[in-house]
Amino acid sequence: MNKQERISFLILFFLFLFLGASFCFPEILKINFLPKKEFKLGLDLQGGIQLVYQADLSQIPEKEKKEAMETLKSVIEKRVNFFGVREPVVQVQGGKIVIELSGFSDPQKAIEEIGKTPFLEFREKKDEDFIPTPLTGRYLKRAQVGFDDVGNPLVLLEFNDEGTKIFSEITERNIGKPLAIFLDGKPISIPTVREKIPSGKAEITGKFSLGEAKELVRNLNAGALPVPIELVSYQIVGPTLGKASLEKILKAGLVGFLLITVFMILIYKISGLIAILCLIFFAISNLLLYKLIPVTLTLSGIAGFLLSLGMAVDANILIFSRTREELKIGKSLFQAFDEGFKRAWPAIRDGNLTTLVVNLILLFFGTSFVRGFATTLSLGILISMFTAIVMTKEFLKMIIFPKIQKIII
Amino acid sequence: MKEEKIFNFLKFKNLFIFIFFGIFILSVFSIFYFKPKMGLDFGGGTLIEIEFEKEKPNSQEIKQKLSELNLGEVIIQETEKNRVLLKMRKISEREKSQIFEKLKDAKEIRSEMVGPTISLELKRKSLWLTLFSLIAISVYIALAFKRITKNLSPLVFSTISFLGLFQNTIFLLGVISVLGKLSNAEFNISILIAILTCLGYGINDTIVLFDRIRENVLKRKTKDLSEIINSSISQTFSRQVNTSLVTIFPVLAILFFKVESLKFFSMVLVLGILNSTLFSLFVGGSMLRLIIKEL
């Protein structure tokens, strides 16, 4: 490798570090020209609520269970959206619904609003207002999507016997007038009654897209929650606690990194320094990915990342120790390093793979603590296979060897 | 060429194996005598951490105030200066707000509830996933180390690894049981994760050792198994120690800065990594020598 290539390698390396660091920490480095993206912090770091509901699917036929959960999810999503949380998460996990509201600090309200039965009602116009009628979602047998003569989607409603009676009365007295359908106190559709409807069947025409019609049908069918739900687990973290934890673990991370740095340089000299440079590259790459993917960072997730810092250096230690051995039996520096990388590889591979395998098994727990930890640790192990092995090797071979011939390990 | 320093580890092999099983038996004893304190994840119930605006009442006063609410047994732990932790059965939202009414100027710092369905499910999963991890690692070792000589079969390597992993698991469960008695440590998912991580990571040192034994056997410089094991341990001693140290450093830092929810998690990680390193330094080779007399 000639001088020019060496210089461009170095420039690229440090440019990546600089840009990466600026993207990850624009506030600290006071660099503002890059696009802004925040780290996504989990509940335990920014405060918030996680609620887990178990749906009672015992009355639902096997085939319709999945659909019931989807309907339940969309009902809950609607309610959650009212809270004004920036990025609410509602997930279906088997027969459970997991709701995460980051930064939301009124658990009482959240639990009340989500748990209560969605309320569908018909309102008639009186003067300028819509006033409630006795007809509510309770009397709805079902709703489905239909099409008019020219193929426009519409929503078909079907009431049960009692509902049919009430509906016929209401339509009778409201001919030519609007009749509004309210969900949770908000109008979702205001059709005009054309005639008395004794059949218990109604259709809501309007300028629906097929998607909108389907959504409305889902909402109507969900007038009552499709299945009963029970709150089986929750976690509430106040905002102050989260902030304190974040500060502590960041400090811990910095100190942990410094300990590793001092240790590596003391024991492995210049090679150790190169390993640390590659470790910085490793750290920046991880942080970049956390922002870009994005990975939700929890306390356990950061712990996983810190652990992966130590594990990343393991590969370097194995390689350097081996290299020393090869030097001892009289090989040249270049040969010794080559041999060191080659011979250390099987142990590094097997070690990393077993850790990775266990990590993947952990993901089956599905709780947020585990997910955070296993995600960052696995990501770290995968990236370290590149930075600690390929990168350290290239660095030493290209930059160091041609310049310094001895005492580098 | 420098002279290789070889230490005769196997001279003490019986002692090492004795200590290894001693720790195992002590841990089993600790588990049955102290019994791990089940945390919320496995035991279910409600936990509320409360901060008092003014001076905090003592546990007795709090208990008294809450006695009318029929909450069953309430465990009260002091955390930081104005804070207490309440643990009780699964309670409803209404009961929770009643607690705050009773305690007056108290603020919720955090709370958690785990119902019986979840805790049961987590218990079941924990058992399976732990078993699965142990087996997965042992199978991996068996696959990675192909038969080298007539006696040195993959089965031997993976059996020894399995024993080490199993002892470490029991050791850490024993530790968490003792810590439960001493400082209210609870056994919950995070602890289990720490244990399983120790298994996955701790095996690395054993792999380094076995890898070296394999290499030395293949070199065929000597046919004496004891010599091969001794030199393999001596050659890899410092790297086994160093790799564990750098991995422990950040965990120690987490302990040092007192990240409350990761306290016992970090302790288990540190102890588990240390124990597994000790295993591969002193016990793994000794066991190999005990099982196999010659190559």
Closest residue on chain A to B2 (Cα): A328
A108 contacts in B (CB within 8 Å)? 93, 97
What CATH class does B45-114 carry?
alpha beta
CATH 1.10.3300.10 fits B9-40+117-291, yes or no: no
Asked whether the beta carbons of residue B122 and residue A358 sit closer than 8 angstroms, the reply is: no
Asked whether the beta carbons of residue B133 and residue A253 sit closer than 8 angstroms, the reply is: no
Q: The domain A48-107+232-236: what is its CATH number?
A: 3.30.70.3400
| A257 close to B (CB below 8 A) | yes
**Domain-by-domain residue ranges, chain B?**
9-40+117-291, 45-114
Asked whether the beta carbons of residue B204 and residue A259 sit closer than 8 angstroms, the reply is: no
pLDDT tens for chain A, residues 1 to 409: 678 888 888 899 999 999 999 998 888 878 778 888 888 888 888 888 999 998 888 877 888 788 888 878 887 887 787 677 777 889 998 888 999 888 877 777 788 777 665 566 788 888 888 888 888 766 777 888 888 888 888 888 888 888 899 888 888 888 888 888 876 677 777 878 888 888 888 777 666 788 877 777 766 665 556 677 888 898 888 888 888 889 999 999 999 999 999 999 999 988 899 999 999 999 999 999 999 999 989 999 999 999 999 999 999 999 999 998 888 888 888 888 889 999 999 889 999 999 999 999 998 887 888 989 999 999 999 999 999 888 888 888 777 777 666 656 6
A377 contacts in B (CB within 8 Å)? 197
Cα–Cα distance for residue pair B50/B86, rounded to 1 Å: 8
The CATH T-level fold of domain A120-221 is: Gyrase A; domain 2 (3.30.1360)
pTM for this structure? 0.83
Closest residue on chain B to A381 (Cα): B201
Q: Is the dihedral of CA B281, B286, B291, B295 positive or negative?
A: positive
CATH architecture of the domain formed by A3-41+238-400:
Up-down Bundle (1.20)
Q: Write the residue in B2, B110, B204 that is nearest to A237 by C-beta.
A: B110
**Domain-by-domain residue ranges, chain A?**
3-41+238-400, 48-107+232-236, 120-221
Cis peptide before A178 (omega within 30 of 0): no
Touching B: A residues 12-51, CB under 8 Å: 44
A-B contacts at Cβ under 8 angstroms: 213
Paired tokens of A129? 């207002």
Closest residue on chain A to B121 (Cα): A365
Q: Write the residue in A252, A325, A364 that is nearest to B259 by C-beta.
A: A252
B112 contacts in A (CB within 8 Å)? 233-236
Give B13 to chain A, closest Cα distance, Å. 25
Cα–Cα distance for residue pair A304/A300, rounded to 1 Å: 6
Cα–Cα distance for residue pair A313/A73, rounded to 1 Å: 44
For chain B, the first-to-last Cα distance in angstroms comes to: 28
Asked whether the beta carbons of residue B252 and residue A259 sit closer than 8 angstroms, the reply is: yes
B133 contacts in A (CB within 8 Å)? 357-358, 361
Q: How far is CA A172 from CA A125, A137, A224, A253, B34, in A?
A: 13, 19, 26, 72, 75
Asked whether the beta carbons of residue A358 and residue B235 sit closer than 8 angstroms, the reply is: no
B268 contacts in A (CB within 8 Å)? none
What's the ipTM?
0.91
Cα–Cα distance for residue pair B284/B161, rounded to 1 Å: 8
Which residues neighbour A247 within 8 Å (Cβ) at sequence distance 6 or greater? none
A112 contacts in B (CB within 8 Å)? 93
B105 within 8 A of B53, measured Cβ to Cβ = yes
A116 within 8 A of A203, measured Cβ to Cβ = no
Cα–Cα distance for residue pair B142/B63, rounded to 1 Å: 56
Closest residue on chain B to A316 (Cα): B243
Q: Write the residue in B4, B112, B200 that is nearest to A355 by C-beta.
A: B200
